[in-house]
Structure 1
Amino acid sequence: MTINKRAVTAKDLTRFAVYSDPQYTPNGDTYAFVSTTIDKDNTYQSQLFTQKVTDAEPRQWTFDDGKNSNPRFSPDGQKLVFQSTRSGIPQLWLAHTDGGEARQLTTFKNGATNPAWSKDGKHIFFSAQLDKDDNVQNQKEQSKEERQKEKEDKAKEPIVINRLKHKSDSNGFRDEKRTQIIQYDVTKRTFTQLTLGDVDHGYEDISPDGNQMLFSANLDDNQDYSLTNDLFLLDLTSKEVVKLTDGKGSYDNASFSPSGDKIACFGSEFSYAGATLDELFVFDSATKERTCLSESIDMQLDDLMIGDTRMGQSTTGPVWSKNSDQLFFIGTDHGATGLYQADLDGKIEVLYKDNNHVFGLSYNAKSESFVLGISTPTNPCNFYQLYDGELSRLTNANTEFLDEVSLSEPETITVEAEDGWKIQGWILHPHGFEEGKKYPFVLEIHGGPHAMYGQTYFHELQLLAAKGYVVLYTNPRGSHGYGQAFVNACRADYGGKDYTDLMSAVDYALENYDFIDKNRLGVTGGSYGGFMTNWIVGHTNRFKAAVTQRSISNWLSFYGVSDIGYFFTEWELGKNLLDDPKKLWEFSPLKYAEEVETPLLIVHGEQDLRCPIEQGEQLFITLKHLKKEVEFVRFPGASHELSRSGEPLMRIERLNHICRWFEKYL
């Protein structure tokens, strides 16, 4: 710890930039990326930057008030297409890399997103929300006033619902619009709608010869009751659609090999429901024969690290090598993520892995090098070049912030659970730590439950350490990073061994760190972590304060009110409402409300459709009726993503309320 550095505050969320989405130019001498910040008006801004790999500093490319993202270079490197809200809603813009003003390509009423180039640079593919009878040739973007009036008019109309999948936490109530894939001719400046079905379509890739488009969708006849996401090939000449996968699982991140004869993707067939590890598959483009390349590893592919500052998408793989004989991807393992390589025989190698969080990659075939986005517990983000096994830093992000504040470096611990399983966790020392002094303690519990705490920057954890708490965070069974058996182990056992894992970790901390005051223990968590916080205070009185965030308290009602309740309840607890309501009640923290003696703060977003606010309401009313010490803080307009991407002032207020509660009772 550096003495002259100050402690972190909640408002420091506005002090640093979050980098994402690195994208190499074709010749490999430059890359572009997105930098997201919170401006003086407490709104998010995202700007594009470019940097030559030989330069010391990146150069800002966009400067408007809004969100610029998804930069994609043309195959010849002379143009850059990107997504921007500068006109009011996300649309596509095109700029020349040698300078000049960007030109707006799309004026779609509901916006245009996720651009991608054809291999010859003649076309740009993108996604757009369309009504059934929309014509892509005469799309007109609404003015701000027109959008506001339409929003006000819709608010006065009833919502007619006839689908099981009628809402989502990310998009609210669904309407009749569907995500379709559009092709833009760069020379003719014309649009062609490629998909037409009454479902959402996801663009995946275009074949090297430009004849076939790869997309994902659920085209099942009974798709309202199905969670599959299949891959399809669309012949752009004949318009014939061929199903590539078997309708039994979910597949994404698909791409053609440079040779065009293979297709790689991530996917699973739900063997362990939502706890199933993804596999790396390769399909023969002609025969559609499938090969699994990841059978030799018991590890989750992709980036499953959890945090509260990571914003913006980033490529995580699989990415083809220039000779179509290898694939590169990010893997999640033991509290860290790294870059891995698989050959077509299924041999897996680690290209880069350390005690940190690799959150994105870009591969350049010409130089055979990578740009990696990396975060650590004491540094929100930077970009690095990995070349011939050597890592060199490209950016020096957030130096002013990092020079000013003191951040706690986590100490890794390994705890033996009651049944001998090994549980990984981390301890943060409080700011200004002094030997011989006793400190209060907070246990943090992640959501998911199939996610992973680890070696990344996490503002909430650093804030609690800055406020003088010893912070413990762990990956109990159910977490990713420790293999299939481990991530599956909490299913149908919520509040069982996952609970005792956490209590074993607390016991370990008290036994091995004599500076923890055992009489001042706090606990908090969100989503599944909120469920577990509720469960803990109903089963032990060892904690003197608790904060439950966007939690689950009653599985009986969760089944019918959550956007995922109708399948998640059975996936995770083994039963749906009508199967065994008594069993669901046994799993519900609300049942144990009379046992709660711990002062409890309930934090919830008003528009949370994942764990709806009625879950917090039920718990509050029950505890208040029982004359328990409880308080309820509701955040207007906030979804389940409040802590990660919610309105900035709300995020800061949420952190302040958490700190206030622990300060009052610990």
Structure 2
Amino acid sequence: MKSLKLEEFTRYKFLSGIELSPKGKHAGFVVHGSNLEDNNYNSNLWLYNLKSEGLTQLTALDKESNFIWLEDGDSIIFPTVRDEKDKKKLESGESFTQYYKININGGEAQKFFKIDKRVTSIKQVDQSNFAFAGIFDHNEEDLSSLNEEEKAKELKKKKEEKDYQVIEEIPFWSNGGGFTNKKRNRLYIYDLKTNEYKAISEATHSVNTYIVSPNKGKILFTTQSFEGVVSLSTGIYLYDIATQSTKTLLQEGEYACGYTDFIDEGSIVFAGTKGEVYGMNENRKFFQLDIESGEVTCLTPELDAGLYNSVGSDCRYGGSTSYKVEDGNLYFVTTEGENSYLNKLNIKDKTIKKITHGEGSIDGFDVIGGNIVFIGLRGLKLQELYSLEDQEKQITNFNQWVMDEIKLSIPEALTFENSDGITIDGWVLKPVDFDDNKKYPAILNIHGGPKTVYGTVFYHEMQYWANEGYFVFFCNPRGSDGKGNEFADIRGKYGTVDYDDLMQFTDEVLAKYPNIDEDRVGVTGGSYGGFMTNWIIGHTHRFKAAASQRSISNWISKFGTTDIGFFFVDDQQGGTPWNNVDKLWWHSPMRYADKVKTPTLFIHSDEDYRCWTPEAYQMFTSIKYHGVEARMCIFKGENHELSRSGKPKHRIRRLEEITNWFNRYLK
């Protein structure tokens, strides 16, 4: 067995996009891997035969990152650009999506059809029609309607406009999406025979989810209206393909909805919340809506769990399905405690059954005809594909080498009752090759969110630090997911009860693990964890070094500069710069910067529009002004997801910066 090296994550494989064929005979999925030469990720399509249990790699050009099954069950289509002429058109500024088709039984992928839009997702309706969501830009002409001369003129104009950015609405940008002014994710119907498409959602609306009805006659979709200021609630609509008409099933203003699907031709299910008790982070429930009458019935009145996987890890890439209606049951993922689980809701009798029980996370699944497959993190294993019958069965071994070759530290649970009588769950990683006769430095790691959780799944950065001779400890303070609405609700309390939990957890760790040198303890975290790192260094000097990542330092400036600031700050801090500026400033770490003594490293990305760079600049400037050692590393071309899906070389440099900083002050 060998020690884990910093750059070892470039050998990991990440799985996503799991989808069963229409008859449930095969499962398609995507395998991603790092490409250091191009400083990017390679992605290829793979196939699993449920009967023979055989695995096949379908593509090998490293560019196929998503796909859908066609209804024949033998063919897959996927977007990619392979033709040199198509590559030149994209370089010239044209927007289109080229789809290729491949038969899973053999043969090369062939061009299938091209849509003159940047398609974000697509679903087959029938042999001749597809529904797709694509980017609609109010600022640009539709090139497909222009002749060659007009097209050349418009492309020239588009190129010249790159020197300017006009904004007229909020949010005016999105993390990972850049400036989004007057751009919408719009829903369309594409006719394969005529090569024409038609918009079926409003030009001012952005589509979140959509699904084709079982009889292929209707399309159910959710949108948020966006005229000047984006709506925070969701409307649900039903489009009739034959009559080309749209019916409103649920008006905007009633619920924030994250998912919807058909139960049958007469009713739908949706996950929603009004946020009346716990605000925007309130756990959603499932509701049934009768299409004819509009009557809404809650299916899960007692359910109080996050309806998604919020178990943190830096070893994922890409996404997968988290909900599915199948044969009268709704399958869905919940986060409970430090794990996420797959559940089955019997819609008729409203009973819920947990159908996975292992520790770890469900990162995506699919189910057809009783066949269930999922991508998951199990124990300290990295992502693999699993099937589920009476019990879980591991299908792939892409990352088995980690378990076979690498020294890992097993998380040790440390649960305690805080000063308010609430149970807090935490864990400690001992240094690899731990020697009871030695003293060691330690790192407190704080998760983002705050409504996410740490668990016992594999975390590259923490395993690396354990291999470098550090204790690493982490917990789920109040504000975290997994324990219901009341536990997660820290609106107006940031930096108070959550800070108390983290400090008491640190006390508990130091008491239980005397081999930690309490004079050599550091603290780090990203996003909310970055906020908390900034807060901690202004309220205690117990940590000898800090690394603040994609942080928040000033709730007043965050309100007006970030993609979620204008609603997140008001909801979570209980005020705006006009009605409660004193409260916003009281909860801002920058207010306490003159108290900081801790040497601090700031890590930030210049395209992080969730926590924009001025948050780090302000805190960096403030503590430098007061004579504190500080360093700041800005990653160009990266966003809020740097530590999870940033370019491989950038992820290496990020972890080098943090580790070197801690080595400097803690070793």
Choose from 300, 306, 328 the match for 1:300.
306
Equivalence for 1:335: 338
Equivalence for 2:7: 11
Equivalence for 2:33: 37
CA contact (8 A) 1:108 1:139 kept: no
- 1:229 has 2:230 as partner: no
Name the amino acid aligned to 1:254.
T
Name the amino acid aligned to 1:117.
Q
Residues 1:215 and 1:200: Cα distance change in structure 2 (over 3 Å): same
Normalised to the residue count of structure 2, the TM-score between the two structures is 0.92
CA contact (8 A) 1:78 1:97 kept: yes
Deviations 1:202-226 (A, max 9, x none): 3411112222211111237x67152
Name the amino acid aligned to 1:654.
R
Equivalence for 2:617: 617
Choose from 118, 123, 135 the match for 1:116.
123
- 1:78 has 2:81 as partner: no
Deviations 1:104-135 (A, max 9, x none): 344445522312122x4442222211335755
| Counterpart Cα distance in 2 of 1:477 and 1:85 | 47
Q: Describe the SS at the equivalent of 2:250.
A: coil
| Counterpart Cα distance in 1 of 2:556 and 2:621 | 17
| Counterpart Cα distance in 2 of 1:195 and 1:285 | 19
CA contact (8 A) 1:127 1:202 kept: no
Choose from 38, 48, 51 the match for 1:51.
48
Name the amino acid aligned to 1:173.
F
Equivalence for 1:567: 567
Structural mapping, 1:591-630, within 5 Å: 591-630=591-630
Deviations 1:326-374 (A, max 9, x none): 2111110000011111112321111112111111111012xx1200111
Residues 1:147 and 1:410: Cα distance change in structure 2 (over 3 Å): farther
| Counterpart Cα distance in 2 of 1:274 and 1:84 | 37
Task: Kindly state the Cα deviation for residue 482 of structure 1 after the two structures are TM-superposed.
Answer: 0.4
Equivalence for 1:362: 366
Structural mapping, 1:525-604, within 5 Å: 525-604=525-604
Equivalence for 1:371: 373
Residues 1:225 and 1:370: Cα distance change in structure 2 (over 3 Å): closer
Residues 1:307 and 1:535: Cα distance change in structure 2 (over 3 Å): same
Equivalence for 2:259: 253
Deviations 1:144-182 (A, max 9, x none): x999988863432x2222112211112111143322222
CA contact (8 A) 1:70 1:115 kept: no
Equivalence for 2:267: 262
| Counterpart Cα distance in 2 of 1:447 and 1:58 | 36
Structural mapping, 1:311-350, within 5 Å: 311-317=317-323, 319-322=324-327, 324=328, 326-344=329-347, 345-350=349-354
Equivalence for 2:282: 276
Structural mapping, 1:138-177, within 5 Å: 153-156=160-163, 158-177=164-183
Equivalence for 1:453: 454
Unaligned runs of 5+ in 2: 91-96
Equivalence for 1:28: 24
CA contact (8 A) 1:92 1:112 kept: no
Equivalence for 2:386: 384
Equivalence for 2:223: 217
Name the amino acid aligned to 1:616.
A
Moved more, 44-53 or 189-198: 189-198
| Counterpart Cα distance in 2 of 1:508 and 1:284 | 52
Q: Describe the SS at the equivalent of 1:6.
A: coil
Name the amino acid aligned to 1:234.
Y
Task: Kindly state the Cα deviation for residue 238 of structure 1 after the two structures are TM-superposed.
Answer: 2.8
Residues 1:399 and 1:151: Cα distance change in structure 2 (over 3 Å): farther
Q: Describe the SS at the equivalent of 1:300.
A: coil
Structural mapping, 1:280-291, within 5 Å: 280-291=286-297
Residues 1:631 and 1:135: Cα distance change in structure 2 (over 3 Å): closer
Q: Describe the SS at the equivalent of 2:382.
A: strand
- 1:93 has 2:96 as partner: no
Deviations 1:444-488 (A, max 9, x none): 111111111113322122122121111111111111100110111
| Counterpart Cα distance in 2 of 1:469 and 1:147 | 58
CA contact (8 A) 2:206 2:225 kept: no
Name the amino acid aligned to 2:523.
V
Q: Describe the SS at the equivalent of 2:659.
A: helix
Task: Kindly state the Cα deviation for residue 316 of structure 1 after the two structures are TM-superposed.
Answer: 0.7
Superposition CA RMSD, Å = 2.4
Task: Kindly state the Cα deviation for residue 399 of structure 1 after the two structures are TM-superposed.
Answer: 2.7
Moved more, 181-190 or 392-401: 181-190
| Counterpart Cα distance in 1 of 2:365 and 2:631 | 43
Q: Describe the SS at the equivalent of 1:567.
A: helix
Residues 1:177 and 1:275: Cα distance change in structure 2 (over 3 Å): closer
Name the amino acid aligned to 2:332.
F
Q: Describe the SS at the equivalent of 1:69.
A: coil
Residues 1:147 and 1:79: Cα distance change in structure 2 (over 3 Å): farther
Equivalence for 2:94: none
Normalised to the residue count of structure 1, the TM-score between the two structures is 0.92
Residues 1:146 and 1:499: Cα distance change in structure 2 (over 3 Å): farther
Equivalence for 1:631: 631
Name the amino acid aligned to 1:491.
R
Name the amino acid aligned to 1:7.
S
Residues 1:8 and 1:47: Cα distance change in structure 2 (over 3 Å): same
| Counterpart Cα distance in 1 of 2:108 and 2:419 | 64
Equivalence for 2:428: 427
Equivalence for 2:243: 238
Equivalence for 1:516: 516
Residues 1:650 and 1:110: Cα distance change in structure 2 (over 3 Å): farther
Residues 1:348 and 1:619: Cα distance change in structure 2 (over 3 Å): same
- 1:399 has 2:400 as partner: yes
Residues 1:572 and 1:238: Cα distance change in structure 2 (over 3 Å): same
CA contact (8 A) 1:211 1:236 kept: yes
CA contact (8 A) 1:70 1:114 kept: no
Name the amino acid aligned to 1:10.
L
Choose from 351, 367, 380 the match for 2:355.
351
| Counterpart Cα distance in 1 of 2:147 and 2:531 | 46
Moved more, 231-240 or 569-578: 231-240
Q: Describe the SS at the equivalent of 2:66.
A: strand
Task: Kindly state the Cα deviation for residue 56 of structure 1 after the two structures are TM-superposed.
Answer: 5.3
Equivalence for 2:137: 131
Q: Describe the SS at the equivalent of 1:81.
A: strand
CA contact (8 A) 2:358 2:378 kept: no
Task: Kindly state the Cα deviation for residue 420 of structure 1 after the two structures are TM-superposed.
Answer: 0.9
Task: Kindly state the Cα deviation for residue 25 of structure 1 after the two structures are TM-superposed.
Answer: 1.6
CA contact (8 A) 2:209 2:259 kept: no
Moved more, 525-534 or 605-614: 605-614
Unaligned runs of 5+ in 1: none
- 1:496 has 2:496 as partner: yes
* Percent identical: 33
Task: Kindly state the Cα deviation for residue 603 of structure 1 after the two structures are TM-superposed.
Answer: 0.9
Task: Kindly state the Cα deviation for residue 630 of structure 1 after the two structures are TM-superposed.
Answer: 1.1
Name the amino acid aligned to 1:339.
L
Aligned length: 647
- 1:487 has 2:488 as partner: yes
Task: Kindly state the Cα deviation for residue 275 of structure 1 after the two structures are TM-superposed.
Answer: 1.8
